[in-house]
Amino acid sequence: MKFLDLAKVTIRSGSGGGGCVSFRREKFIEYGGPDGGDGGTGGDVWVECVPALNTLIDFRYQQHFFAENGRPGMGKQRTGKDGDDIILKVPAGTEILEEDGETVVADLTTIGQRIMLAKGGNGGWGNLRFKSSTNQSPRKGNPGQDGVERILWLRLKLIADAGLAGLPNAGKSTFLAATSNARPKIADYPFTTLHPNLGVVGIDQREFVLADIPGLIEGASEGRGLGDQFLGHIERCAVLLQLVDGTAEDVAEDFRIIDHELKNYSEIVHQKARVVGLNKSDALTDEEIAEKRAALEVASGGRVYVLSAATGKGTTEVLRALWTEITAQRAEAAREDEDDAPWQP
């Protein structure tokens, strides 16, 4: 299935049906009078978060979603049929944005979450509604209310606990394949990863979701390479794993390139907890590992984990470090939810 994380759609709720102008005319019935029914209500447009979806590819082939109009009222006090609703089904992590691409309308992160995007128009009143003691034979009915039309953007941000970041060929896909059930494309040339991948990682009888995004290069924030278009998929992560290719000539400079691109994209992403790993240690001598690890610790200002995704060496320690940060973030989020909860006596 082709991956698509951004789509533009046009939605329109149904218009209400018009009210009916009708009078009762039946043989042998003494009392007549107005009997026009109301128009039906137009259908609503909803968006719903459903399971078993991880892309917005369905919205590449259909961009217009119009709910059904309400039917007009009829004589004998019959109300018109309401229009059917229409539901946009999206994966978890989908943001709904206004046409400007910045104003957030809704953020769907939970399966089953459902939000109305456009309400259908009300049906018009029939002439029966206008009958009064001073107006026994009203000859007017209201038209139905028009539906609402909107142009919206759907933007998918994958929901993962941890995210991978690094230059092309830093070994991110190899790490994901070695530690999870994911099977991303792996090759010895840059940009083998063209779209984000998710994998479920198990460590010490616990599981978390790890996201791999296409590699960043210097100038990605200015559109070079694949740009920073996929960085939105790690915005929801609790921690980032930044992998540095141990066979590179200047590992400190490689770290600074990614750090600079993350900062240019978003200060929130840049400030996330980060675990730094020196990858491909199987291709280095002990002296080279010590030298490059020291240089990377100076550049990152923290601990550097030495690992080899290809052989599995050191990956357990890295996964445990990621899990420690994830649990800390979850505990902090739980405390914030408790603080925000209304007080109950």
Q: Is 171 annotated as a binding residue?
A: yes
Q: Is 73 annotated as a binding residue?
A: no
Instruction: Please choose, from the candidates 270, 60, 265, 261, the residue with its C-alpha nearest in 3D space to the C-alpha of residue 154.
Output: 60
Q: Is 196 annotated as a binding residue?
A: no
Q: Is 260 annotated as a binding residue?
A: no
User: What is the pLDDT, as a whole number, of residue 164?
Assistant: 87
The model scores a pTM over 0.85? no
State the chain's maximal CA–CA distance in angstroms: 110
Q: Is 107 annotated as a binding residue?
A: no
Question: Pseudo-torsion of CA 127, 132, 133, 135, nearest 10°?
Answer: -40
Q: Is 79 annotated as a binding residue?
A: no
Q: Is 213 annotated as a binding residue?
A: yes
**What are the residue ranges spanned by the domains of the chain?**
6-156, 162-340
Q: Is 13 annotated as a binding residue?
A: no
> Where would I find the H helices in 171-313?
172-179, 251-265, 267-270, 286-300
Q: Is 310 annotated as a binding residue?
A: yes
Yes or no: is domain 162-340 CATH 3.40.50.300? yes
Q: Is 138 annotated as a binding residue?
A: no
Strands 104-108 and 23-24: unpaired
Q: Is 221 annotated as a binding residue?
A: no
pLDDT tens digit at each of 345 positions of the chain: 467 788 999 999 999 999 999 998 777 777 778 999 999 999 999 999 998 887 888 898 899 999 999 999 999 889 999 999 999 999 988 999 999 988 999 999 889 999 999 999 999 999 999 998 888 889 999 999 999 999 999 988 877 888 888 888 888 888 888 888 766 656 554 555 556 777 888 888 888 888 887 766 666 555 555 556 677 777 888 899 999 998 888 999 999 988 888 888 888 888 888 999 999 999 889 999 999 999 999 998 889 999 998 888 999 999 999 999 999 888 887 777 666 656 555
User: What is the pLDDT, as a whole number, of residue 344?
Assistant: 53
DSSP state, residue 170 = S
User: What is the pLDDT, as a whole number, of residue 178?
Assistant: 87
Q: Is 32 annotated as a binding residue?
A: no
Q: Is 162 annotated as a binding residue?
A: no
DSSP states of 205-255? TEEEEEEE-PPP-TTGGGT-TTTTTTGGGGTT-SEEEEEEETTSS-HHHHH
For 6-156, CATH gives 2.70.210.12
Q: Which residue has the tokens 């018109």?
A: 80
User: What is the pLDDT, as a whole number, of residue 294?
Assistant: 93
Cβ-in-10-Å burial (0-12, 13-18, 19+) of 26 comes to: exposed
Pair 278, 306: CB distance under 8 Å? yes
Q: Is 300 annotated as a binding residue?
A: no
